[in-house]
Amino acid sequence: MGDGDNPITSLVDAAVSGDEPAWRELVDRYTPLLASVLRRFGLGAAETQDVAQTVCLRVVEHLGSLREPRALPSWLISIAKREALRCVSDWQRSVPYDPLDPSWLPSATEGAEPDAELLRAERHEALLAGLAELSARQREFLILLTADPPLSYAQISERARIPPGSIGPTRARALGRLRGTFAVKAYLASREVAGDETACLDRAAVGDADGSRNGYLG
């Protein structure tokens, strides 16, 4: 797949027209973002699956009304947060409340997150959304670069099927594309950040994106 294949706008238009492969491609690109958002609410596996399926249904129902396809990530995040909050609220109403029970501590959804954690989460979501705008080849390459434990250049070369000497230039091009995506540019503009925020792209660019590839939208 070339770097310019399947831009988000074209994928959304095709999915709205009933193109199943385009829909599956959108699912593949945005599942890590959805998983990252839902993980912040501390839902169990079954609840996470239920909420993700509900989000998927909402997207299917209203995708045609999305005026700006590039706004799909922020729209998806808003839907996911709303449905997760609804799930948490339903669960809390169904469980007897004992104010003396030390296990009843304020959840992340009951108050503001610490500033550092909120900023980290926002940045991570922006980076995952930016990754979704890249070609599959560039996404997988950036994930290889941030593997834990780190991979050697020889391993990256073998898995990415490129010469070791091309890893540096390919990395620079991929990170340049990531910085130029709609999602990352919008985030950087909103934060009015400079040097050290963009420098975080080297390591924070994909974070645990590969670990987020659970089939929540499947």
Integer Cα distance of 35 and 33 in angstroms? 5
Instruction: Decide if 38 is inside a domain.
Output: yes
Does residue 157 fall inside a structural domain?
yes
Question: For residue 206, what pLDDT is reported?
Answer: 43
Residue 217 resides in a domain:
no
The crossing angle, in degrees rounded to 10, of helices 167-179 and 136-145 is 110
For CA atoms 157, 8, 133, 23, give the dihedral sign. Answer: negative
Phi, psi angle pair for 87, to nearest 5°:
-65, -45
Asked whether residue 218 is assigned to any structural domain, the reply reads: no
Phi, psi of 177 (to 5 degrees): -65, -40
- Identify the domain containing residue 15 by its residue range: 8-212
Interval 81-107: pLDDT, tens: 999 999 888 766 655 555 555 554 455
* Rounded Cα gap, residues 62 and 12, in angstroms: 11
The span from the CA of 218 to the CA of 210, in Å, is 16
Residue 133 · residue 182 · CB < 8 Å: yes
| Residue 34 pLDDT > 80 | yes
Q: How many domains does the chain have?
A: 1
Look at residue 194 and give its three-state secondary structure: coil
Q: What is the reported pLDDT for 88?
A: 85
- Reported as a single tens digit per residue, the pLDDT across 143-156 is 898 888 889 999 99
**Residue 3 maps to a domain:** no
Question: Is residue 2 one of the residues assigned to a domain?
Answer: no
Mean pLDDT across the chain? 79
> Mean per-residue pLDDT for 108-137?
78
